[in-house]
Every structure is written in structure tokens, then in C-alpha cells.
Amino acid sequence: MHILLADKMHPQAIEAFKALPGARVSNRPELGAEDLPGHLQDVNVLVVRSTKVTRAALEAAPELGLVIRAGSGVNTIDVAAATERGVAVANCPGTNSAAVAEVAMGLLLSLDRRIPDNVHELRQGRWNKKEFGKAQGLKGRTVGLVGVGQIGREMIQRLRGFDVRIMAWSRSMTPEKAESLGIEYCPDLLELARHSDVVSIHVALTGDTRGLVGAEFLAAMKPGALLINTARAEVIDTEALLQAMDEKGLRAGLDVFPAEPTTGQAEYDHPLTRHPNCYGTHHIGASTDQAEYDTGLEAVRVARAFQAKEPIPNCVNPR
């Protein structure tokens, strides 16, 4: 079985892949989406993290039986094309939930205390306590969670220590579930926007969630409120967000951006990254040693099941 690792993986996960009986492992983390079609001729299992798997790549892979996304979402993989070709697609949900919640909290605290701007001013040789010695603080404020899956639940644990009021909306949320989590149930998405000082988004990108946070939602948010997105950029209407930042002082902490580069280093320019009300990180939510280790070993478990012709864990397109 030929396994191609087309993204950076934890060293112990690489060794675990190599330990699979009869496995031949090609470790090529430098490959981008445009490179994949030329490297898949005899590959049976393809493992990716952020590298996109296009229809062209799948059509260039006659021996491919499984694509594993070493992460939660599969929006970077053409699942429809894979299904047409009889290629299974699986992910590794939950293994990076704590890491994503950590970066979401980092963005939240950074926005509230303007930490990146503090750092920039000091590095420029300027002491500006007069400007930065102002912040609302988090205690007593209302945080609204959009989505209460595994990452949302990790957020709940971390937010409790800040003595905030936590509200949540999701399609599957009920008053009973909210009570069991020790949070407030919000049955209406716009109502959550109206009440929240901070909104943090934790939903997968699907046809239903694309553009979920649009002009109406952003208009309902409080002036100067904070919006955190560590899910997928397409969940938010970008143009509406830019307008809300301009017109009502909305501030955004984003780990995801439209049309992100498919490689680890690249030129990238977007109005969001230049906006003074936006703090951005480089889609690093899942990029901790702990998360990479756990996700890598879960990917190995998926590959092992495929090799043994057992039911494939976390398969998103079962036949």
C-alpha cells in the first residue's frame, strides 16, 4: 500500500504510517494542490491537512482508494468527485478541538486588550499606556457561541474561568442540552447576535452554513462587538463584515480567510488583513504539537482500517 503524506505531519505519526504492514510511505509536505496530479499515479492512500484535493488530482490517481483529511473539515477536498470515482474520504474530527479553542481564546483576549497593537508600538520604540490602558474586560460580558460541537464545548470550558455569561445557538441545541452544559439556550440566531458582546463561530462549512453570518446578523450585533471566526471564512459574508467594521466599529479576530494560499508560505493580500479592526492569524488553529500528534495518530487509525478492509472510521461518503 502506497501512502502519500502531502502535508506536514507529526514525526511520530509518520513513523506509525511506516509501521503499517507492507506500507510504502512518501513524505512530501512541500506538495501543493497544483503538484498533486503529478504524484498520485500509484498512490492508494492520500493524507492531507490544508492541501486541496481537486477533481484533477483525483482523476490522476487510478489506484487511489482513500483520502484522509488530517483535520476536521473536508471542504478542501472535492468529495463529489471522490465519490464518483469510488474513493472514500475520511477526516479526523475532535482531535484538534482544544487547539482551535485555544487560538479562539487568544484572539478574543487580543481584541479586548489590543495586545498585538501594544506589541507593535513597543517594537517601534513607543510607550503608549495612555492609548492602550483602556479596555472593557471580559468579566460579566455575554459571549454567544454559534455551534456547540466539540470545539464549542472546549470553548465553554475555557470561558467559564473568565466569569462571562455564555449563550449558544446551534441547529441541534435544545434547552435541555444547554442546561446540561451550564449555558443559556438561544433559539434564534439573530437574538444571539443582539445579546452578545462577543460572538465566536464554531460550525462546519456546509451548504446550510455558507454565509450564515451575513448582513442581517452583523447588523443585529452591538456596535463595537467582537466577532471570532476559527471555523471557515465562507461562513461569514466578507463584504458585509468589512462594511460592519467600517460603519459600526465591529472588531474581528480571524484565523481563516477567503481564498487562502494552498502552501505554507505565499504572498497574500486581502482587505480584511489590512483593516485596523481585524486581528488575523494564519489558519493555525489546529497547529500545535499536541493536536498534530493526536490528529496524525487518528489518520493512521483510519488508514489501518482501510488496509484491513474494515469499515472506515469518520468516512464522510460511505458507499
Name the CA dihedral angle for 150, 92, 67, 286, rounded to a multiple of 10 degrees: 80
Name the DSSP letter for residue 137: -
Cβ-proximal residues to 83 (8 Å cutoff; 6+ apart), any chain: 89, 317
Residue of 10, 202, 232, 251 marked active site: 232
Name the DSSP letter for residue 263: S
Distance CA 71, CA 68 (A): 9
For the chain, helix (H) and strand (E) counts, in that order, are 13, 12
Judging by DSSP bridges, how do beta strands 45-48 and 2-5 pair with one another? parallel
4 class by beta-carbon count within 10 Å (0-12 exposed, 13-18 middle, 19+ buried): buried
292 is an active site residue: no
232 is an active site residue: yes
Residue of 121, 184, 191, 260 marked active site: 260
Q: What is the largest CA-CA distance in the chain?
A: 65
Angle at 107 between CA 111 and CA 258, to 5 degrees: 105
Going by C-alpha positions, the residue among 203, 205, 204 that lies closest to residue 189 is 203
10 is an active site residue: no
Going by C-alpha positions, the residue among 240, 287, 233 that lies closest to residue 261 is 233
What are φ and ψ of residue 193, in 5° steps?
-60, -40
Q: Give the CA distances from residue 68 to residues 42, 88, 98, 256, in Å, rounded to whole numbers and listed in that order.
A: 16, 8, 21, 21
Helix (H, G, I), strand (E, B) or coil at 7: coil
Query: Using an 8 Å Cβ cutoff, are 28 and 307 in contact?
Result: no
Q: In b/e form, how buried is each residue of 277-305, taking b as 16+ CB within 10 angstroms? A: bbbbbebebbbbeebbbbbbbbbbbbbbb
Residue of 154, 283, 292, 298 marked active site: 283
Positions marked catalytic:
232, 260, 283
